[in-house]
Amino acid sequence: MFQILHLIRPVLRNSLKKKFNFANDLFNSNIFLRNYAIGKFYKTTNIVENNGSYGVLLDNSKLKTPLGKEMIINSKALALAVAEEWNLQEKSIQTDSMHLTKLCYLSVDNPNEHCEKDIAQQILSYLETDTVFFISDNDKDLEKLLNEKWLPIINNFNKYFETNLKPSKGIYINCLDAYTKKMVEKYLLSLGFPALHGVLQAVETLKSLILTICCLHQDITVNDAVLLSKLEEEYQCTKWGRVDWIKDYSDTDSVIRLSAAMLFIYYTLNPKHKPMAKKDIYPQIQQSLKQ
């Protein structure tokens, strides 16, 4: 492996130098062959308010985006959640687990210079290959299970948008017409630019716009949405066996990503939401335990 890297490194160096005109010193180092971990450089996290918007403080310094912009968040609850993500970091900063922070970065930086319509079109592209539309008829038990669990979800979606989408036996959805796309796009654009990033992450996680919309409308929980998106896989696992730790890791990661996306959407669309202090939560927990 190292011999291959040694052979291709000069080729990569010369081609990149020619294309991007980088300095020689950059390529003479081993920077592209190393993995770096960012050490934790702060002790406390907090939030600061400025004219109805919020920022995150690391010690006394304001958190900035990767492009150097000031992180501006329109929701106090979301700002507190982002601050908590940074507070939970230990010796090194694990950015892979900071989903709310990354969604805030995307909405502020907009690195790809997308407009609302661009993101809405990306989301809509998943509708053409939505997981819940393709019900296998090769296994009668599986077909029965998918119809039982997915058809109510499709019906709820149709009710929201006054559409007539149906499962397909082929690789194309015949009833996905211009009217349906227009209605769904109109709804997506009504959510606004920041929330669309959360919707896109949810759709990418579930591979389903139908499940995402039903989860947004609280027809199903986050856990149920993830399970429904992997229903065929779960069926095959019960039939042929499973590698538990791999499956559990994948499912947990999907639940975390979807939960973060739903929180981001909710807080973005409800900026006046007031998060409860811990002392306010305890009585509710105690009451629920008594029931």
Cα–Cα distance, 48 to 50 (Å, whole number): 7
**Fold of domain 45-94:** ATP12-like (3.30.2180)
Percent pLDDT > 70 in the chain is 77
Domain with CATH 3.30.2180.10 in the chain: 45-94
pLDDT at residue 102, rounded to an integer: 96
Q: pLDDT tens, 102-112?
A: 999 999 999 99
Burial class of residue 133 (count of CB atoms within 10 Å of its CB; 0-12, 13-18, 19+): buried
More confident residue, 210 or 280: 210
From residue 17, give the alpha-carbon distance in Å to each of 4, 25, 28, 31, 33: 20, 11, 11, 14, 16
User: If one looks up domain 116-269 in CATH, what number appears?
Assistant: 1.10.3580.10
Is the distance from CB of 201 to CB of 215 less than 8 angstroms?
Answer: no
pLDDT at residue 110, rounded to an integer: 95
Q: pLDDT tens, 133-175?
A: 988 778 889 889 999 999 999 999 999 999 989 887 766 666 6
Domain with CATH 1.10.3580.10 in the chain: 116-269
Under DSSP, the state recorded for 276 is P
Cα–Cα distance, 226 to 205 (Å, whole number): 8
Cα–Cα distance, 178 to 169 (Å, whole number): 21
Q: Which long-range contacts (CB under 8 A, 24 or more apart) does 90-94 make?
A: 90/40, 91/39, 91/40, 92/37, 92/38, 92/39, 92/40, 93/37, 93/38, 93/39, 93/40
Cα–Cα distance, 286 to 42 (Å, whole number): 35
